[in-house]
Amino acid sequence: MDELLGNFINDFAIYRVIQGIITIFTLVAVYLGVQIILMWRSLNNAETNPDKVISNRSSFIRSCVFIFIAGFFMLFHNFLESLGNNEPDFATYESFELIALLGLILFLNEWYKILKSLKKAAKSSN
């Protein structure tokens, strides 16, 4: 990366920027997780059919893809750490971790939208 950008930006600067983005994404993931928990608690279990939650095929496929992205890039991140002498720089590690966290956030967002639509449907039926 130093060859392309020269003295403007180095690997440590990229590493710090990626760390900042990871911190923001972690806070977003915690927020979405808390919102999902609160929304799940507010749904009436007697009225909510579990089949409705997973019945949307496109939403289920998107959720599976997001989990695959998160798992694959976290696995790739851990695999590269075990290479020893041939390991890449820290900015590369953090970029794989960033992509994995993005997959997790997209998955949580998908579930948030599903539960929000269920809550909206429950309110309109009452």
Domain map (residue ranges) of the chain:
2-125
Confidence (pLDDT) at 27: 96
Q: What is the tens place of the pLDDT at every residue in 33-44?
A: 999 988 888 776
- Statement: residue 15 has pLDDT above 90: no
**Which pairs count as long-range contacts for 43-51, CB under 8 Å and 24+ apart, including other chains?**
43/115, 43/118, 43/119, 43/122, 44/122, 47/122, 47/125, 48/118, 48/122
